């Protein structure tokens, strides 16, 4: 039996993270002996935690979630171009004693779009929200040749800051364009997983519009429930979660795990 690799996810809150479940399934499938644990870590203790975690010779990697992703970008290590641009890291890998820092959220999101045959080239995209999750997918979206992207956020200044950051790549705006038909509407707000989704007024959409909620839940999210009134192409963020995890796993062990069964395994958690 080979040594048991040590992995985990650090953040706060962390209790409801599906990452331990997903990575344990990947490990079983790929026959890799590992322990993947959730760690509740406060920002003030983050650096100390990282040193302690990786001092174990069996430590191979760590996922980082809220509110630690920006702090993780400050760790000494080889940071990827994307993670550096985002100033956010969700995957740390220890290779030959050195740490590599990556962001796999954007790859996970794009992989999920591909798997659902959602094409963004030449399309008009509306994004609701301008927080960390939106930032992590925006880098990929703006470089994917869409026609336009509109970002709407409760705090207008945050949407404007994002537009300024990426305006060189594509046609970006921080208000709704009522004369444009939106092909893809992405919900990146954390407004809640219960209650009703209140859509901004004046969105030009049709039954050919695709809807994607970065949020996920074993039940339909409020955004997805609203979207289903307009279209049959409605998706939540479970696929993004799985594909970003698969990308982390690939960084740690060199090969992407099969994602064939994990969707059903997660659905079964609800039974």
Q: Which of 179, 201 has the CB closer to ligand NDP?
A: 201
φ, ψ dihedrals at 102, nearest 5°:
-135, 165
Q: Which of 39, 59 has the CB closer to ligand NDP?
A: 39
Residue with tokens 């969700």: 90
189-248 binders of ligand NDP (CB under 6 A): 189-191, 214-216, 237, 240-241, 244
Q: Which of 56, 219 has the CB closer to ligand NDP?
A: 219
* 75 binding ligand NDP? (CB under 6 A): no
Packing angle of the helix pair 105-115, 132-142 (nearest 10 deg): 60
Position with the least CB separation from ligand NDP: 131
Q: Which of 59, 66 has the CB closer to ligand NDP?
A: 66
DSSP code of residue 14 = -
Q: Sketch the per residue contact string, 94 through 113, with ligand NDP: x for CB under 6 A, - otherwise.
A: -----------x--------
CB-based contact 68:9 (threshold 8 Å): no
Cα–Cα distance list, 130 to 70, 172, 241 (Å): 15, 13, 19
* 132 binding ligand NDP? (CB under 6 A): yes
Residue 69 a catalytic site member: yes
Angle at 265 between CA 255 and CA 253, to 5 degrees: 15
Q: How many residues bind ligand NDP (CB under 6 A)?
A: 23
Enter the tokens of residue 36: 């993947």
d(CA 87, CA 136): 10
What lies within 8 Å, CB to CB, of 49 at 6+ separation is 10, 39, 41
- On the CB side of 142, CA atoms within 13 Å amount to 21
* 20 binding ligand NDP? (CB under 6 A): no
Binder of ligand NDP out of 18, 59, 66, 256 (CB under 6 A) = 66
Enter the tokens of residue 196: 């009703």
* 118 binding ligand NDP? (CB under 6 A): no
Identify the active-site residue in 6, 28, 69, 94. 69
* 149 binding ligand NDP? (CB under 6 A): no
Active site members = 69
Q: Which residues bind to ligand NDP, rule: CB under 6 A?
A: 66, 105, 129-134, 153-155, 158, 188-191, 214-216, 237, 240-241, 244
């Amino acid at each position: 039996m080979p040594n048991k690799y040590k992995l985990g996810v650090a953040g706060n809150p962390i209790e409801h993270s599906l990452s331990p479940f997903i990575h344990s399934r990947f490990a079983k499938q790929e026959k890799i002996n590992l322990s993947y644990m959730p760690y509740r870590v406060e920002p003030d203790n983050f650096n100390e935690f990282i040193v302690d975690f990786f001092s174990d010779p069996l430590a191979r990697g760590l996922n980082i979630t809220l509110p630690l992703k920006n702090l993780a970008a400050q760790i000494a290590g080889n940071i990827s171009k994307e993670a550096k641009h985002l100033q956010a890291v969700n995957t740390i890998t220890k290779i030959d004693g050195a740490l590599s820092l990556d962001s796999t959220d954007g790859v996970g999101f794009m992989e999920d779009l591909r798997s659902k045959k959602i094409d963004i080239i030449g399309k008009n995209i509306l994004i609701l929200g301008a927080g960390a999750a939106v930032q992590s997918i925006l880098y990929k979206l703006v470089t994917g040749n869409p026609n336009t992207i509109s970002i709407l956020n409760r705090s207008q200044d945050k949407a404007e800051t994002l537009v300024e950051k990426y305006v060189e790549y594509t046609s970006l705006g921080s208000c709704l364009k009522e004369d444009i038909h939106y092909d893809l509407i992405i919900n990146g707000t954390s407004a809640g997983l219960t209650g009703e989704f209140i859509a901004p007024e004046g969105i030009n959409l049709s039954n050919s519009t695709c809807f994607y909620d970065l949020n996920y839940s074993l039940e339909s999210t409020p955004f997805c429930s609203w979207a289903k009134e307009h279209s049959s192409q409605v998706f939540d963020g479970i696929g993004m979660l799985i594909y970003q995890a698969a990308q982390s796993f690939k960084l740690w062990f060199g090969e992407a795990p099969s994602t064939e069964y994990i969707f059903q395994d997660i659905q079964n958690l609800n039974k």
